Every structure is written in C-alpha cells, then in structure tokens.
Structure 1
Amino acid sequence: MDIALIGNPNTGKTSLFNNLTGSYEYVGNWSGVTVEKKVGLFKNNQEKLIDLPGIYSLNPLSKDEGVVTQYLLSEHVDKMINIIDASQLERNLHLSIQLLEYGQPVIIGLNMMDVALNRGIQIEPENLSAQLGIPVAPVIARTGKGCDYLADLVTEKLPPEPRENFVYYGKVIEEAIVNFSRLLEGKTGRSRWLALQLFEGNKYVEKYVQGYINAETLKSFIQSVEDKVRRDCGKSLEQLVFQKRKEKIDRIIADAAIKRNQMKIPLSEKIDAIVTNKFAGMPIFLFLMYFMFMLTFDWLGLPLSDLLEGFITVTLAGAIETVLQAAGASEFIQSLILDGIVAGVGGVLVFVPQIFILFFFISLLEDSGYMARVALVMDRLMEFVGLNGKAFIPMMIGFGCNVPGIMAARTIETPKERLLTILLTPLMSCSARLPIYALFVGAFFVHHKAFIVLSLYVLGIVVALILAKIFSSTILKGESSLFVIELPPYRLPQFQALWRSTWDKGKGFIKKAGTFIFAGSVFIWLLSYAGPSGLNVDLDDSYLAAVGGVFAPMFEPIGFNSWQAGASLITGFLAKEAIISTMNIIYFVPDEASLQGLLASHFTPLAAYSFMVFILLYIPCLATVATIYKETGSKKWTTFSIGYALFIAYLLALIIYQGGKLLGFS
C-alpha cells in the first residue's frame, strides 16, 4: 500500500516522516528542503510512505512543486496524509480541499497545536473532522507525540473516501464539470478534480488531459467556461474557484477554531524585529558567520584536528609501518601505503572535526528557524541584482555542498532565475574547500584564521551577486518573480535532530575520503613514483611533475609558479579535497617538519591568499558539473559555468596578487 505525505512547507512534514518511518531525512525551515520524493516504511508494518515536496497548491509554480502534481497524475496512491499547521489553518486548508477533490482517502495530521495556542487560537479536532468528513489526528511532529495514533489510523483503518463535490462552485462551474466529464467518459477517471485543476490553470494537468482530448477542443472548452464566468460573475475562472474555496474554509474555521485575544507580542516577532532589521540584519549574520569560523578554526576545531593529526601521522602511521616491516613488505608496498594512502587520505581526514563543527553550527541555524530570516535579509540586495531572497537559500545550502545547492534551485519559479541560481551556486565555498583553507590559514594567518576564512566566504557571495547583476542585465534577461517566504517560528533544536543533520552532511565527506580520495591518492602517488626514466624517481623527474609543469607558467602571474601547485589544481577538478591529498603526497614531509611548515618555502602569505581565492572560484568539481548538466539539460550552459568560473578565478587572483605586490604586501 502506497501512502503519500503531503503538506505546506514548514508544517513539520519531514519530521513527521522521520517519526512514522524511523528513518531520517534532511530537516530545514524553508520551502524546498525536500526537492524529490522520498520513500520510507512505517515502523509498525511494511507499508510505504512517500514524502513529497512541500507545496501550497497542486497548481505548481516551480519544478519542485510540480513533483507532487506529476505524482498524483502518473503514480498510484492508496491514501494520503495531509499535515496541517494548526496556527495557519486557513492557508493550509486550500491544499486540503484540493486533496479531498482528488478522491482518495485522506487523513489529516494536525500539527503545531502548541504554536496555535501561543497565538491565541484553539482548534477542536473533532469539529474539524466533522466539517471535513475525514479523520483528524492531533500530533506534535518534532517530539513524536500523537504519531503512533496517526500511524495506526492510517495503516490499520480504512478511512472513508472524501466527497468529491466537497465545495459547490456555482451553477456555471458545476455544469462545466459535468460537460467535461462527458468529454472524458471512458478515457480516464477523476474528471471533477481534473476539471477544477484545469480551471485554475494547472499546466501539468492540461498536458495530461491533452492525451485524451484534442488540444484545440480543450482550449475552446476552457475559454467558453471562462467567458460565461466573466459574464455572470465578473470574475476570472481562477478567481471564482479560489473565492468558493475560501468561503468554504471560512465556514470550517468558524466551527472548528476559537480565536482568543492575544495579549502579548509573540517572542518570534520580538526577535525578528532585531535580526531582520534592514540595518542590523546583515551585521548580525556576518557576526554569526565569524563566530562559526572561530569555533571551527580556532577555539574548538584546531585542537581536535591537531589531536587527530597526531594520531594519524604518528600513532597510526607508526603502527602500520611496524606491521609492514614485520610482514616483510617490499619498499614499493611500504611507500604506496605510507606515502600514498596514509599521507593522502590521512591528510584529508585530519580536518573531519572542523568539517563536523561547521556542519553542526549550520544545522543549528537551520533547525532554529534563522536561515529563513537570512533569505529575508538578503532579499533587498538579491532583488537589486536580478534575483530574490529565495535564490539565496540554494546558495546557503551550497556552503555545505554545491550539488544539493544546485538541486534546491528547483524551488525557484521563473526559468531565468532558476538558471541564474544554478550558474552562481558553485561560487559558494563548499565544505570540500574547507580543508584547503584550514591548511593555509594555519600556515600563513595564525592570528587571523576566522577573519581570513570569512573573507573568502563573503568574497564568493559578493562575486556571485556582481555576476548575477551582469548576467541578468545581458545574457539572462527576463521577468523577475516576487519574493514570498514563510518565516517559521523559532524553535529550540533537539540534539538528536542536530546530530542526525550534522552526520547526514558530514558522512559524505568521510565516504569520499574512504573511496574517491583513496583511489585518487593511489593514482597521484603512482604518478609521483614513476617517471620517463623508470620507478622510484625523484619527484621533480616524475610524470606528476611533468604534468604540473605544463600549467605552472600560467600560474606565475597569480603567485604560485610551481609544478606542485599546478598538479594539485588539476586533481581539484575531480574533488576539491584531492588538492590536500595531492599536496601531502608531492611535498616531501620529513619527520621533523609539517606540511604547513614546508608550504612557507613555496608560498608567500599573499600568494597563499591568492591560491585560496583561486580555489574558491575556479572550475566546479566533477560532481557539480554533472549536476549542472542534469539540471539545465544544456551542454552550452554547463560549458559556460566552467569557462566563466575559471576566467573570474584567474582575474581576481591576478588582481589580488599583483595589487598586493604594488601595495607592498609579501
């Protein structure tokens, strides 16, 4: 049995999914966090629960919302759970009515009753159930309260099928529905729901119906209904459908909800007056970012990374060397394992504590409700460059990884803004770049680590905004959309949810180190071990040096004219973490020195900063390029994303390095 979970964004839908299935999915506080349907199994049996993206209506505005309509049109669903925010009952019921009209059994999960009470609204679930004619189960999705009862209600009992004619739309529309049913008779079902979706202008449904009715006939039919409605009611067809639903919702709320006077201003509004203030909002955001980087690179992350580095490079490497010598392993095998695998993979893994601290802090901001406020704060600036605040959400997700950030652009309504967001999200500094920053700031900027890293993150945002303005004014002209975002109430995050979210983000880093970086380290070591003259050659005579040397002269104007830097940047296209593993392999690190110490002989502080800027902006990694192609379906735009990023990276690094030299920086 297939059961669909559907609801508005920020109603606790994904938290409910986790409680009902026992499996974890990413939880956030903005529209578009679930960009594809996700499937789990109920804990009390093996029935499937499909978690669909958060939507406000079955008439989609974005590709993300279109997943739900397409699912209802093309897939089989036995029952539906419609989760509703009790504090936003009127808005949520618009979707509920459309689901009732679909005709399959629906069960309401009435969530956030506590939030409603704090806002002076008391909902009577029994009255709401009687008005809708379907079961209503009060739940608190974040804590799991009431979820077992809802699961039993959904999986053990067969709820009644809702009345398809739940709302009476007036004589003209009702007659049009009957006539439409005759056109579809014997071809497909759900004619009433299909008709109403057509009258609302649902393009997905229109395309579906054209498989049964000639496009011209369908267009003529809808136009005739539109003309009758305008003549008799003075409204458009879509406006009349909305009006009739709203009248029904008002009657339901009058019977099921009791509103009391709210004597005090909610805490969320008091906090928002500060954090979304047009003057204070941006400084507060930057301060939180700076605090996050101080935790990551200085106060907490650095000592933990130092402990892990000592364990890997001394304890673990020493133990492995002892075992290999005892086993009589050849010099080749010892060098491969110690100088290739341990140095390459270990050099990346030492930054795991810093990665997890960063992800924990980001998860904290997400789960508390603050991230939606960041989008609101950024909206004024984003609008100036041709986007809106919603586009900043994929960019923020891109701080973790550019791939899900690009996929999150599906939530953006207009094609122009969606494409623009996809092209610019790779400029956001993802976690894969973090080990490189940690290595270089620890070597060259010991007293200003957090500030230097913050400057790189801000630089990525600034460059993205400038390019957005240029692109939207030239190659991507088009109509901009209005920014509408719901601000969820502030919540105290649960530690279990925070840890799960942190682990979900961070496990990909560990997995990549254990698979891709492992294989890459072996390959890089082989290139450094072999050369035209044979095996076990000097590094400067290796194949890796030959490859890096081809590109080295091009990097001289931006501060790093060495084959080692050139070779590292090449491997960075496969994965940015591979830059660290490559450096650990190709820079000879004797027992008494560290990689950070040896970098000082190859880079100056100015060249180091130029190198980090280049890493920030130059070509996206292979996985990101593949995602850009998948989301755009265009080789042209994929190639453009690589080309413009490489050009901008080189230009800015050139300006920083040459400008710094002119100003006397070394």
Structure 2
Amino acid sequence: MTLKELPIGKTATVLSVGGEGALRQHFLDMGIIPNANVTMMKHAPMGDPVELRINSYELTLRLADAEKIKITDVRDEVRKEREFLEKKRISHPGLGEGGKYHKKEGENPLPDDVKLTFALVGNQNCGKTTLFNQLTGSNQHVGNFPGVTVDRKDGIIKGYPNTLVTDLPGIYSLSPYSNEEIVTREFVLNECPKGIINIVDATNIERNLYLTMQLMELDIPMVLALNMMDEVRDNGGYILINEMEELLGIPVVPISAAKNEGISELIDHAIHVAKYQEYPKRHDFCDINDNNGSVHRCLHGIMHMIEDHAEQEKIPLRFAASKITEGDNLVLERLKLDENEKNTIDHIVEQLENERGLDRAAAIADMRFSFIEKVCQETVKKPKESKEHIRSIKIDKILTGKYTAIPAFIGIMAIVFWLTFNVIGAWLSDILNLGIEWMTLGVENLLVRGNVNEVLRSLIIDGIFNGVGSVVGFLPIIVTLFFFLSMLEDSGYMARVAFVMDKLLRKIGLSGRSIVPMLVGFGCTVPGVMASRTLPSERDRKMTILLTPFMSCSAKLPIYGFFTALFFPKYGALVMVILYFTGIFVGILMALLMKKSLFKGEAVPFVMELPNYRMPGKKNVAHLLWEKAKDFLQRAFTVIFVATIVIWVLQTFNIHFNVVESSHNSILAKVAGWIAPIFKPLGFGDWRISTALISGVMAKESVVSTLSVLFGDTKTLLDMLSTTGAASLLVFCLLYTPCIAAVASVKKELGGKWATIVALGQFLIAWIVAFVIRIIGMIL
C-alpha cells in the first residue's frame, strides 16, 4: 500500500520512495528513505495535506506526494527508545589537543591580519539567527517557523574585530530544493569561508546531523554547536559531547542560544579551528552497515576518476563524489567530464544499485542515516517525549482540528484586529494624539508671542506639526498590530496556518507555504516579498510576490484610521475587517485569473516541518517592536517630513513664488488639477486628494499628512467628501500602487518588467474596484 492509505495513528515501514528530481531528493534528505519508520499523525482540517512523524519530528506532505511512497508492515504506533550503547567515557581535551582534527601538510596558522570568515549553517528553524544575534550583538528578526532568514546577513563576532560571521538561510542538505537553499550552498562552495559554525537542534539531532555530514565533506574547518541543550536536559536526556567529538572528528560544543549558554566556548573553538586551519578528521562514512562495501567501492572509484577535475574546479573531492553518486547534475556540469568518464561513472553507479538493492540517491541517504544512527546510539540518551511536544499536540487538537482550525484562525485574527483598532492600539493612539495636540498648541503660542513671520509659522504648524504629527499619532496602532503578529509568529502558529490553509490556497494555484509571505505582507510588503524566497517553485514565488501587495500593509493603517474616525466612527473595527478582507478577496480573484493565464500548472509539493509551540521570547518580540517603531519614525521624520514640506511649499506659493491667499491658486493646485479628473468618477476628484495619493506612492503614511496640510481642518474634508466617496477612497488606498520601497523589492526579486506591471496593474485594479464601490454606494 502507499503512505496515502496509512490510517491515522498507525506506523509503517517505507518500502520505496517514488517521484523524481529535486522533490524526491528532498524526501530522502528529510529522512523518508527505505526501511524508515513513519507514523500518520493527522490530516489537515480539509483532508489534505497530512502530518507524519519520522525520526522523532513532524513533517507535512500532500496526499498526492504520499501516494508515491510505498509502505509495508502497517502496525500500531509503538514509540520505542533507541538502544543506548554507553561506552567508556572520554576526557575532554583542550584546544588543539587530542589529535581529533588534522592539518594539511605544509599549512601554518593564518597570519594575524587575515580576516577569519565564518559561515553559520544549519537546518531551518534550528536557532541560527538567535545564535547570530548572540555572536555579533546584532538584532536580526527571529521567528518560530521555517524560512525566517531569506538572505545572508553579516556581522562581526563581539570582541573579535578581525572576524566576519555570515548568517545563511536554513537548509536540510546541500542538495538545494528552494532559492534560499541555493544561496547557502553557493556561499559555502564559492566564498570559501575560513570556518563553518554548524548549528544543530539537539532535540532533533538525527535529522540535523544529515547536513553536518555533508558539511564535513567540504573539508573546511568546522565546529558543531548543539543548540537547545537546556530542553534536552529538562526532559531527562543527555549527549556525550566528548564521545561525539571522537566519532565525528570535529569540535562539539553544547549551547543554548536563547539563554546565551556556551556561546563563549563556541567562539573560542570557532576562532581556534579557523586560525589554525584544523580540518574535520573524518570524511568517510561509508564503512557502516554497507552491504559488501558497495557504496564504499562506488564512492572511492568515482573519487579516483574525478580527482584532477575536482582539484581544477576547486570542489572538495569527497563532496563531489557523493553528489555525483546521488545524481546532482549541478556538480557534474562544473567538473566538465568527458563522455568516456561519464559513461564509466554510470556503470559504477549501476553496479552500486545492483549490489545495494537501492537506487543511487537512496543508497547515499541510507549510508548517511546509518552513520547517524551509530553516532546517536553511542552518544545520545534520548529524553522522554518533551514537554514542548506534549503541549504542542494538545494545542494542535484545537488549532489544527478538523472542525476547529478555521474558526480558531478567524477568531484569533478577529481578536487581534479588535484589540488593535478598538482597545489597546486605539487607546494608546488617543493618548499620543493628545500629547501631539498639546505640543502643537504650545509651539504655536511661542511662535505668536515671538512675533514670528506668518509664512514661517504656517510652515512649522500647518506643514510640520500637522503633517508629521498626524502620522506619528498612528504609531501605537502599528506597534500593537506588530506585537500580536510577532507573538503568533514566534509561537510557531504561522506554520500551522500554512498547514491548515494549504488545500484552500491550492485552489487558487498556490502552496500553503505562500501564506507566510502574505501574512508577513500584512505588516510590510517589502519583507513579505523577500520571504517568498523560501518557496521552492519559481512559479509559486512569482505568484506570491504579485499577490502580496494586495495584503493591506500596516503603513495604510493611518489612512484607514483617519477616514474611519471621520466618516464611520461607530464602526471602526468592522470597517477595518472589511478592508482587510476586501484586499484578500481581490487577491484571490487575481490569483484565479493568473492561474488560468500567466501561471498555468500546479502548485509545488507542500513539504514542511512543523516546529513545537514555544513561548514567544520577550527579547525577540521587544526587538521586533522596536525595529518597526524605529523604521516608522525614521520614515515619518525623513520621507514624510520632506514630503510635507514640499507639499506645503507647493500649496503656499504660485508659479512666481508669491504667497497665495487661497491654495486653489497655488503651484500644487495647477499640477494636481491635471490629474484630478481621473478620480472624479470615483467620487474624490478634488486636486488635494489627488496630491495626497501621489505622495502615498513615496510612503503610504504620507497620504494622511498631506491631507492634513492641504485641508487644514477635518471639517473642510467632511463637507467636501460624501460617505460613498470616502468608502471608494478607502478601497482605492487599499489596492492602488504600492510604495516605492515595495515596488523596488519586486524589481529586485523579479526584474523591472514585473515591477512595472505591479505598479500600473494595481492602479488600474484599484480604480475599477473603487468605481464599483461608488456605483453600489450610489444605488444603496
């Protein structure tokens, strides 16, 4: 039978893994190999995808992909502890002692002026960014779902100015499956760091060590950081560090990145192995459980054949041989082998498959996992089922339950919006606005007493205080929304949302993993677009990037808050929810249109690890809030500050730079007057609103500041704009051209053509939808 047919709660043994290409390799790298035991945990609320347990961690898979995996020996789940073969303890040597690591002949310690560069590498969601922050004092964004880091980040190790550590996107193996995994592989292979810091989740060590073995084949000085050791200890387990060092041939350091435990020892070892160029002692893993030495003969035969090519292309020999055996065409192409050599390799691999009874990729994966099993058997006393995992299973009964998952998601988001816009955020915003009003009055009184020129007084009060102040007043709302979103992200709930929503998103041509970039887009479109790099399919990535700007970013909150307070004061939360869901609805319509035209085909497979729920870290949440508040204030006092002054100048002077009595005679009125007719059918054809919308392309927050400068008081705006016109304007602001930063991020990811399509396309869509709203409003 196939894995698709495995009943919930039952365990089976994998017989064979079907499929082809990168996806099949990804299955093998994740531990789904022949003879592995797999347990069916649950189905998503809509029946697809499913959650499996393999090697003590949870993995999601679609039924269509599960159907490609044949299984046998279906039985009740029995969770047995691995046999622990405790041996004589080994004492811990000092730095450079013990002979565990080797130096290449003729190599000396690196000179003091050589910069020690490190690659920080590990699986997704194993704590890399947290460790990076501890090593460098940086404050990168940290979250509890796979794919938080989507680009490389550099920093200097605290106290060591001549170092540089690079935080790379998480990968499961050096067989790249998605775009951000390619970033990591290319960096490690081409940038030639002086050392590797490989961070491993100690609570899930079997899966994590798979990448470790491939990194060791690169023959780069390396140190292994066993993260989350505090959780292992708290749950009654332990790891024999010295014995693991002996078996692996690299330094192993137990740490807890979140609690800053073991970091100084890790730094000492990393600096030492890089400075003295101490390489991993072991590269050969094919002598364990190798039937008749077939894998050993295959690898070493290929190594002898490609040695000169690997040296010429500067690719580590053992790494190249294992990758060629797997069937990695990227490495094969770089080696530039002739046809005779390729044919000989094909014969060697064919012999391996005949002798081993497994295909080439499965044979290599089995070799690695067999070695990992030996290492863990002798060094890892598995803890009881962790408190974190037990807690996660209980919470998931509600948050991913068949009948409760969707209502829970809607309820959680509704509570977030209600608390943000009607309770906490609104209350804090009112207090801040009172403070801004008090400060504005105080400054105005001082200027009047000082007999300051009327024009300058108008610039300071009407331009700067009213313009910038009207935007700054919405800071508490933005910070409150980010607080709740970061709590959901840091807890691990975002990964569950992807699991729950996958089948729904597949109907519009996307994968459940697309939900993460789009949810991030509710905070800001720029990181949302960047987060799409975690998607393994170019088709899915493009679709997700094009849809993310439809998710209402937090920069639009001042616009919503401003018009809602004026025109719909009794229905604040309802208007906000309608706006957010309108953006989602229009995005869905566009996705369906793109699915049938530009992006025909099926969404990529949904293979993702589900992390345990964890309490959000106070430091992480506080840092994220500070970063967002700082970013908002920087824009308020740079882009928006400049924009308000420019707007004030243009509406105060005529083309001869004489002060005008009425802004209708100003430079701004003339220029904006040419554009205003475009918006007349939508119910807001006033030149001042046109100006505000243009300034919104620079930064969405500046729409409110521009209106405040141009109208002076809200009464004028109330008299000029009808309720229907206000509704139409709100929808237009929701959907029209994203800010310059967002368009630039789209250009960076997809190129200038797609950035232009986003800019012009969204303007047209916004105009059409706003026109429909105006017509409906007039009929009603």
- TM-score w.r.t. length of structure 2: 0.79
For the residues of structure 2 that align with 1:132 and 1:582, how far apart are their CA atoms? Answer: 63
Moved more, 302-311 or 366-375: 302-311
Specify the alignment match of 1:178 in structure 2. 304
Matched, 1:51 2:175: no
Q: Deviations over 1:344-365 (max 9, x none)?
A: 1111111111111111111111
The 1:267–1:435 alpha-carbon spacing in structure 2 relative to 1, beyond 3 Å, is same
1:454 is paired with a residue whose SS is helix
Q: CA deviation at 1:227?
A: 3.8
Specify the alignment match of 1:352 in structure 2. 475
Specify the alignment match of 1:9 in structure 2. 124
Matched, 1:32 2:147: yes
For the residues of structure 2 that align with 1:618 and 1:405, how far apart are their CA atoms? Answer: 17
Q: CA deviation at 1:421?
A: 0.9
Specify the alignment match of 1:307 in structure 2. 431
**1:86·1:111 contact (CA, 8 Å) conserved in 2?**
yes
Specify the alignment match of 2:770 in structure 1. 653
Q: CA deviation at 1:324?
A: 4.1
Specify the alignment match of 1:68 in structure 2. 184
For the residues of structure 2 that align with 1:498 and 1:165, how far apart are their CA atoms? Answer: 41
For the residues of structure 2 that align with 1:288 and 1:598, how far apart are their CA atoms? Answer: 38
Matched, 1:616 2:734: yes
Superposed CA RMSD: 2.4
Specify the alignment match of 2:320 in structure 1. 194
Q: Which runs of 5+ in 2 are unaligned?
A: 1-115, 287-294
For the residues of structure 1 that align with 2:479 and 2:127, how far apart are their CA atoms? Answer: 25
Matched, 1:546 2:667: no
What amino acid sits opposite 1:419 in the alignment? K
Q: Deviations over 1:192-251 (max 9, x none)?
A: 2133234434455455x25xx268677656545544444444543222211211111121
- Matches of residues 57-456 of structure 1 in structure 2 within 5 Å? 57-116=173-232, 122-156=238-272, 160-163=278-281, 165-168=283-286, 169-185=295-311, 188-202=314-328, 205-206=331-332, 209-210=334-335, 213=336, 223-259=346-382, 262=385, 266-315=390-439, 317-325=440-448, 329-456=452-579
What amino acid sits opposite 2:200 in the alignment? I
For the residues of structure 1 that align with 2:378 and 2:207, how far apart are their CA atoms? Answer: 16
Q: Deviations over 1:396-454 (max 9, x none)?
A: 11111111111111111111111111111111111110111111122222232122212
For the residues of structure 1 that align with 2:325 and 2:706, how far apart are their CA atoms? Answer: 60
What amino acid sits opposite 1:256 in the alignment? T
For the residues of structure 2 that align with 1:468 and 1:77, how far apart are their CA atoms? Answer: 42
Specify the alignment match of 1:493 in structure 2. 616
The 1:615–1:263 alpha-carbon spacing in structure 2 relative to 1, beyond 3 Å, is closer
What amino acid sits opposite 1:197 in the alignment? K
- Within the candidate set 752, 758, 764, 1:641 is matched to 758
For the residues of structure 2 that align with 1:421 and 1:484, how far apart are their CA atoms? Answer: 17
What amino acid sits opposite 2:307 in the alignment? S
Moved more, 623-632 or 549-558: 549-558
1:83 is paired with a residue whose SS is strand
2:125 is paired with a residue whose SS is coil
Q: CA deviation at 1:386?
A: 0.9
Specify the alignment match of 1:627 in structure 2. 745
Q: CA deviation at 1:170?
A: 2.2
- Within the candidate set 721, 731, 755, 1:603 is matched to 721
- Within the candidate set 701, 704, 708, 1:577 is matched to 701
For the residues of structure 2 that align with 1:318 and 1:127, how far apart are their CA atoms? Answer: 72
1:492 is paired with a residue whose SS is coil
What amino acid sits opposite 2:727 in the alignment? Y
The 1:561–1:52 alpha-carbon spacing in structure 2 relative to 1, beyond 3 Å, is same
1:29 is paired with a residue whose SS is coil
The 1:329–1:200 alpha-carbon spacing in structure 2 relative to 1, beyond 3 Å, is farther
For the residues of structure 2 that align with 1:435 and 1:185, how far apart are their CA atoms? Answer: 59
Q: Deviations over 1:517-538 (max 9, x none)?
A: 1111111111211234753221
Q: CA deviation at 1:620?
A: 1.4
For the residues of structure 1 that align with 2:631 and 2:383, how far apart are their CA atoms? Answer: 48
Specify the alignment match of 1:565 in structure 2. 689
Q: CA deviation at 1:127?
A: 3.1
2:612 is paired with a residue whose SS is coil
The 1:263–1:541 alpha-carbon spacing in structure 2 relative to 1, beyond 3 Å, is closer
The 1:361–1:216 alpha-carbon spacing in structure 2 relative to 1, beyond 3 Å, is farther
Q: Deviations over 1:554-578 (max 9, x none)?
A: 3233332322222211211121111
For the residues of structure 2 that align with 1:205 and 1:509, how far apart are their CA atoms? Answer: 45
For the residues of structure 2 that align with 1:600 and 1:19, how far apart are their CA atoms? Answer: 52
Q: CA deviation at 1:327?
A: 5.7
2:603 is paired with a residue whose SS is coil
Q: Deviations over 1:558-609 (max 9, x none)?
A: 33232222221121112111111110111122xxxxx3x5432233333322
